[in-house]
């Protein structure tokens, strides 16, 4: 519909190799970042890669990773099934791109919660650091409950800790979900709230607790829990982490 801004440079900013944080085009559709004049307004389609990615994200949102079906994405965009192969080598490549978006959105959800506490610069001290840790956890749980399909997609693609710092998976601050957790724990160590010894490997402790609750709530036996109960469980799990660290 609306042709996207697309000098090659700008175009690349919004494709797999370049973006940081959640691609605004996943929700908007107007031209972006007009620092350079677009050399042309459209390709044949306009910007099929991004359109397919957006369709893939919607599929993941509604049905998780298995719902990211290449033919359905092309159908939604109004294009022949094989057109996708101009932009993704195969279905797996599309799924991986969608997964990266999902991870970015997770990081953004965590940043949103953290913003309510303020940055360490704005709001220093031990108690604020603990509050930021709680915000990390609540953001994670909130995203899982509000976007279960994307949450599942974020963890669906083979990939290990080597990606934990991949800027492609980052939120608006340029940090990934893992980095947000990690730097908050660093801060707790710096304020002295956490001994050096206890700091080591603390990521796994916090992450396990919150990830487990998220999984049990959205896919597991706790899936029938109402939002208030889920919220209360989240608060208790997070408080267990605080005490147990």
Partner DNA sequence: TGTACATCAGTGAACGCGCGTTCACTGATGTAC
Give the residue, chosen from 17, 35, 122, 160, that forms a contact with a copy of itself under the rule CB under 8 A: 160
Residue among 83 and 205 whose Cβ is closer to a copy of itself: 205
Rounded CA-CA distance 198/230 in Å is 29
**Residue 157 touching DNA (CB under 7 A):** no
**Residue 90 touching DNA (CB under 7 A):** yes
Rounded CA-CA distance 228/241 in Å is 20
Instruction: Considering only the stretches 65-73, 114-122, 139-147, 203-211, report the one whose residues sit in contact with DNA under the rule CB under 7 A.
Output: 65-73
Select the binding partner of residue 115 from a copy of itself, DNA, none (C-beta < 5 to 8 A, by kind).
none
User: Closest separation between CB of residue 221 and DNA, Å?
Assistant: 24
Counting DSSP H helices and E strands in the chain, the numbers are 10, 0
Q: Where are the alpha helices (DSSP H) in 64-176?
A: 70-77, 91-115, 126-146, 148-154
Binders of DNA in range 2-41 (CB under 7 A)? 39-40
Site string for a copy of itself, 164-193 (x = CB under 8 A): x-------------x---------------
**How far from chain centre, in Å, is Cα 181?**
13
User: Closest separation between CB of residue 145 and DNA, Å?
Assistant: 27
Q: Where are the alpha helices (DSSP H) in 7-125?
A: 8-13, 48-63, 70-77, 91-115
Tokens matching residue 116? 């309510």
Rounded CA-CA distance 100/98 in Å is 5
Instruction: Considering only the stretches 46-54, 79-87, 129-137, 155-163, report the one whose residues sit in contact with a copy of itself under the rule CB under 8 A.
Output: 155-163
40 touches 6 (CB < 8 A): yes
Instruction: Considering only the stretches 21-29, 32-40, 125-133, 206-214, report the one whose residues sit in contact with a copy of itself under the rule CB under 8 A.
Output: 206-214
CB-side neighbour CA atoms (13 Å) of 71: 0
Give the residue, chosen from 16, 48, 163, 166, that forms a contact with DNA under the rule CB under 7 A: 48
Residue among 14 and 130 whose Cβ is closer to a copy of itself: 130
Evaluate the CA torsion angle 46, 80, 16, 211 in order and state its sign.
Answer: positive
User: Closest separation between CB of residue 37 and a copy of itself, Å?
Assistant: 41
Residue among 56 and 137 whose Cβ is closer to a copy of itself: 137
202 touches 185 (CB < 8 A): yes
Instruction: List residues binding DNA (CB under 7 A).
Output: 39-40, 42-46, 48, 69-72, 79-87, 90-92
């Amino acid at each position: 519909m609306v042709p996207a801004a697309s000098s090659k440079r700008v175009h690349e900013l919004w494709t797999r190799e370049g973006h940081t944080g959640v691609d605004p085009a996943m929700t908007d559709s107007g031209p972006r970042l007009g620092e350079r004049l677009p050399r042309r307004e459209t390709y044949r389609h306009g910007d099929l890669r991004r359109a397919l990615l957006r369709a893939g994200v919607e599929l993941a949102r509604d049905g998780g990773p298995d719902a990211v079906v290449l033919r359905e994405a092309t159908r939604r965009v109004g294009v022949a099934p094989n057109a996708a192969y101009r932009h993704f080598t195969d279905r797996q490549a599309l799924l991986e791109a969608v997964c990266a978006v999902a991870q970015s959105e997770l990081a953004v959800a965590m940043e949103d919660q953290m913003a309510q506490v303020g940055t360490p610069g704005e709001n220093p001290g031990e108690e604020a650091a603990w509050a930021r840790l709680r915000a990390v956890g609540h953001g994670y749980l909130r995203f899982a409950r509000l976007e279960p399909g994307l949450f599942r997609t974020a963890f669906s693609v083979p990939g290990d800790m080597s990606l934990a710092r991949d800027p492609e998976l980052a939120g608006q601050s340029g940090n990934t979900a893992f980095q947000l957790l990690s730097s908050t724990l660093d801060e707790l160590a710096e304020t002295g709230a956490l001994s050096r010894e206890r700091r080591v490997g603390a990521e796994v402790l916090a992450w396990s607790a919150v990830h487990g609750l998220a999984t049990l709530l959205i896919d597991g036996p706790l899936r029938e829990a109402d939002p208030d109960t889920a919220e209360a469980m989240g608060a208790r799990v997070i408080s267990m982490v605080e005490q147990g660290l």
